């Protein structure tokens, strides 16, 4: 017996921050395409000299490489270099999607600030590092959600917004104040907005990944360091993959998830256990 997720044929999905090779955004985009969506992919247009070594060796081309994977599944892909933290960029993105496809049905707010100088005690935290994280993670999710929900309401077909948050917004660990605050804010944005747009048939949920094996985690160390982290933090005994997160996102956007809204689901191998 198989269980097929439905409700995607001919729909248009936007996935922000979708250009990294080892990532969460790429498998989300590919799995939404596999389900039947046309996909809009955004990235920041970073210089290839900043790509991780494995991306450089592979001749990776950011969102253009992901777009090729999407098109190979028989659907259309639109790539847009855009900053989610820039209101004008986001407004222009919404207009371009509607001009190209005539609709927007699914939004996945996946773009996130890079790990960096924000991972330190509050008393040592540079306000600019704080602003960068909040601008991208929280304000970016707000701007994209607001703009695309307006187009969804005008289209009259409902829709689904999934915000990629983090268990960091629930664990609230030391030395993560900017990141944790941004992700807790994303969860609050999700809950508030879900109640506001439900009458238009729009569902808003958050997925809170735990430790996911992506290039963002390379700075933590690999081999024994990584194995110890996984052993100590994850009851299921393995790090998550982008596909683990993509599966949750696709479910939430499908007909099977039609009665789920306002939730912040942990997908973390049991790292954060709540009752």
Which one from 13, 179, 240, 266 is the annotated catalytic residue? 179
Instruction: Quote the pTM value.
Output: 0.95
Residues 6+ apart with CB under 8 A from 193: 145, 149, 161, 204
H or E stretch covering 144: helix 140-155
What mean pLDDT is predicted for residues 7-18? 97
Place of tokens 């997160």: 245
| pLDDT number for residue 116 | 82
Q: How far is CA 153 from CA 13, 14, 147, 149, 199, in A?
A: 15, 16, 10, 6, 10
Residue spans per domain, the chain = 12-266
List phi, psi (to 5°) of 272. -115, 115
Q: What is the mean pLDDT of the chain?
A: 94
List phi, psi (to 5°) of 66. -65, -35
Is the pLDDT confidence value at 154 over 70? Answer: yes
| pLDDT number for residue 1 | 38
Q: How confident is the model at residue 2 (pLDDT cuts 50, 70, 90)?
A: very low
Is the pLDDT confidence value at 77 over 60? Answer: yes
| pLDDT number for residue 3 | 56
Q: What pLDDT digit, counting tens, does each position of 212-222 carry? A: 998 777 667 67
Q: Which class for 243: exposed (0-12), middle (13-18), buried (19 or more C-beta within 10 A)?
A: middle
Q: What pLDDT digit, counting tens, does each position of 130-146 carry? A: 999 999 999 999 999 99
Place of tokens 């299921």: 236
Identify whether the C-beta of residue 75 lies closer than 8 Å to the C-beta of residue 11. Answer: no
Q: What pLDDT digit, counting tens, does each position of 46-58 carry? A: 888 888 888 999 9
Give catalytic status of residue 179 as yes or no.
yes
Q: Of 112, 92, 88, which Cα lies nearest the Cα of 16?
A: 112
What mean pLDDT is predicted for residues 148-173? 98
What mean pLDDT is predicted for residues 124-129? 96
Q: How confident is the model at residue 4 (pLDDT cuts 50, 70, 90)?
A: confident
Of 3.40.50.1100, 3.30.1360.70, 3.40.50.300, 3.40.50.720, the CATH number of 12-266 is 3.40.50.720
| pLDDT number for residue 52 | 84
Give the Cα separation of 176 and 196 in Å (integer).
30
């Amino acid at each position: 017996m198989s269980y097929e997720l439905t409700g995607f044929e001919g729909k248009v999905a936007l996935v922000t921050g979708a250009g990294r090779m080892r990532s969460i955004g790429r498998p989300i985009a590919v799995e939404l395409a596999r389900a039947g969506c046309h996909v809009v992919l955004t990235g920041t247009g970073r210089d290839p000299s900043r790509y991780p070594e494995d991306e450089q060796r592979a001749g990776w081309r950011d969102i253009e490489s992901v777009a090729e994977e999407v098109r190979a599944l028989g659907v259309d892909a639109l790539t847009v270099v855009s900053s989610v933290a820039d209101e004008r960029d986001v407004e222009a993105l919404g207009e371009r999607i509607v001009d190209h496809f005539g609709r927007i049905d699914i939004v996945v707010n996946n773009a996130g600030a890079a790990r960096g100088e924000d991972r330190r005690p509050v008393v040592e935290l540079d306000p600019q590092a704080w602003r960068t994280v909040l601008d991208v993670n929280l304000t970016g999710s707000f701007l994209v959600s607001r703009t695309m929900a307006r187009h969804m309401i005008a289209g009259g077909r409902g829709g689904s917004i999934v915000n990629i948050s983090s268990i960091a917004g629930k664990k609230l660990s030391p030395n993560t104040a900017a990141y944790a605050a941004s992700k807790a804010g994303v969860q609050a944005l999700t809950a508030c907005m879900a109640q506001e747009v439900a009458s238009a048939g729009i569902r808003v949920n958050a997925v809170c990944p735990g430790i996911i094996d992506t290039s963002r985690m390379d700075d933590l160390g690999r081999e024994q360091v990584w194995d110890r982290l996984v052993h100590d933090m994850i009851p299921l005994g393995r790090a998550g993959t982008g596909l683990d997160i993509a599966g949750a996102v696709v479910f939430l956007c499908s007909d099977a998830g039609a009665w789920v809204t306002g939730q912040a689901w942990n997908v973390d191998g049991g790292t954060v256990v709540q009752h």
